[in-house]
C-alpha cells in the first residue's frame, strides 16, 4: 500500500492535494452544466438505440429521471471521452456547448492523471489494482458525473439513500450545497470538499479487490422494500454514504460533480 491507501483504510476516506488549485474550474463546469440543462438539454441526450449501436452505457450523456420511473427524480450527465467525441461530431457546435464539453474533458483528464499518480506507487499486494486501473483508462471506463438533484424543500430530506458506489474509488469534486455524509464506524459524519485537495473514498470494487464479499440486504427506498447489493469489509471497506438536505433551508436545487475511478475487473 502507499500512504493514500493506508489513510483510507484507517479513516474511511482521505484528502489528497491536487489536481485543482482551487474550485474555480469545477464551479465553472457546474455553471456550464446548469446553462446546458436550461438551453440545450435535448441535444445532449443520446437515444438508447444509438447508445447500444456505438457501445455507450445507458447512463452515458444526459439522463433525466422523473418520479414515475420509480427512481429519485434527477438529471445527470455522465462524461467519458467517447461521449465527448460522439457529441462533438453530431451536435451543431456552439460556444456554450464547446465550453461545456471542453471543461468536462479537462476535468476528466486531470482526474485520470491524478489517479494514475496515486495508484503508481502501490506495493505488490495491491499492484494488480494499477493494471486494472490502466485497463479501465484505456477502455474509458472511468466516469465524470454531473448531477442535479430534485428540488429540496423539506428539512433533512434524504436526497440519496445510504449506498456504496460500484467504483473502486470515488472522488466527490464539487457540491453546490453540503449534505454528503459517510458512515464512519456507527456514525454518520459530514464530509466537505476542501479547496486545493481531492476527497477520496472506496467503493465496492475496492472492497472486492481487498477480500470483501458481496451481500444483499433489504433497504427502504421510497416506502418500497427493495434489495440492494453491498460488499462486506475487506482490507479496505467500501464507504457507505448518503446525501441529506441542508437543515433549515427553504427551497434549493443541489448539484454535484463526482469522479468515479473504476477499474477493469476482467483485466
Ligand atoms: Fe454514491
pLDDT at residue 156, rounded to an integer: 67
Tell how far the Cα of 182 is from the centroid of ligand 1, in angstroms: 10
Confidence at residue 218, expressed as pLDDT on a 0 to 100 scale: 55
For residue 158, the CA-to-ligand 1 centroid distance in Å is 13
C-alpha cell of residue 114: 491524478
- Output the CA–CA distances (angstroms, integers) from residue 33 to 42, 95, 141, 262, in the order listed: 13, 13, 21, 23
Q: Measured between alpha carbons, how far is 83 from 102 in angstroms, rounded to an integer?
A: 12
- For the record, the C-alpha cell of 180 comes out as 454528503
Q: Report the range of poorest mean pLDDT among 22-26, 32-36, 89-93, 211-215.
A: 211-215
What average pLDDT score do residues 188-215 get? 92
Region 150-163: what's the mean pLDDT? 81
Average pLDDT, integer, range 4-22: 94
Collapsing DSSP to helix, strand or coil, 5 comes out as helix
The count of other CB atoms within 10 Å of the CB of residue 206 is 29
In order of their start, the domains of the chain are: 3-261 (2.60.120.330)
Q: How far is the CA of 195 from the centre of ligand 1 (A)?
A: 21
The chain-wide mean pLDDT, for the chain, equals 89
Q: Put the strands of the sheet holding 197-202 in their side by side order.
A: 14-17, 197-202, 169-175, 255-261, 143-149, 74-79, 61-65
Distance 121 CA to ligand 1 centre (A): 26
Task: Report CA dihedral (240, 173, 153, 247) to the nearest 10 degrees.
Answer: 70
Residues lining ion ligand 1 (Cβ < 5 A) are 165
CA of 32 to the centre of ligand 1 (A): 22
Amino acid at each position: 500500500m502507499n500512504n493514500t491507501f493506508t489513510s483510507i483504510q484507517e479513516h474511511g476516506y482521505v484528502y489528497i492535494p491536487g489536481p485543482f488549485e482551487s474550485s474555480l474550474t469545477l464551479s465553472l463546469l457546474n455553471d456550464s452544466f446548469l446553462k446546458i440543462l436550461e438551453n440545450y438539454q435535448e441535444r445532449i441526450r443520446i437515444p438508447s438505440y444509438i447508445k447500444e449501436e456505438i457501445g455507450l452505457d445507458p447512463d452515458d450523456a444526459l439522463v433525466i429521471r422523473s418520479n414515475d420511473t420509480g427512481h429519485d427524480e434527477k438529471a445527470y450527465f455522465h462524461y467519458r471521452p467517447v461521449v465527448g467525441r460522439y457529441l462533438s461530431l453530431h451536435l451543431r457546435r456552439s460556444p456554450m456547448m464547446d465550453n461545456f464539453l471542453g471543461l468536462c474533458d479537462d476535468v476528466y483528464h486531470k482526474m485520470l492523471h491524478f489517479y494514475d499518480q496515486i495508484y503508481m506507487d502501490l506495493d505488490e499486494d495491491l499492484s494488480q489494482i494499477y493494471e486494472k486501473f490502466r485497463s479501465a483508462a484505456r477502455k474509458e471506463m472511468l466516469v465524470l458525473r454531473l448531477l442535479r438533484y430534485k428540488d429540496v424543500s423539506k428539512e433533512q430530506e434524504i436526497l440519496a439513500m445510504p449506498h456504496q458506489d460500484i467504483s473502486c474509488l470515488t472522488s466527490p469534486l464539487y457540491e453546490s450545497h453540503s449534505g454528503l455524509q459517510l458512515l464512519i464506524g456507527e456514525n454518520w459524519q459530514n464530509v466537505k470538499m476542501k479547496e486545493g485537495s481531492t476527497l477520496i473514498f472506496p467503493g465496492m470494487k475496492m472492497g472486492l479487490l481487498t477480500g470483501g464479499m458481496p451481500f444483499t440486504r433489504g433497504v427502504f427506498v421510497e416506502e418500497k422494500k427493495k434489495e440492494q447489493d453491498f460488499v462486506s469489509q475487506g482490507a479496505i471497506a467500501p464507504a457507505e454514504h448518503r446525501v441529506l438536505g441542508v437543515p433549515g433551508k427553504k427551497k434549493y436545487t443541489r448539484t454535484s460533480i463526482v469522479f468515479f475511478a473504476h477499474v477493469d475487473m476482467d483485466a
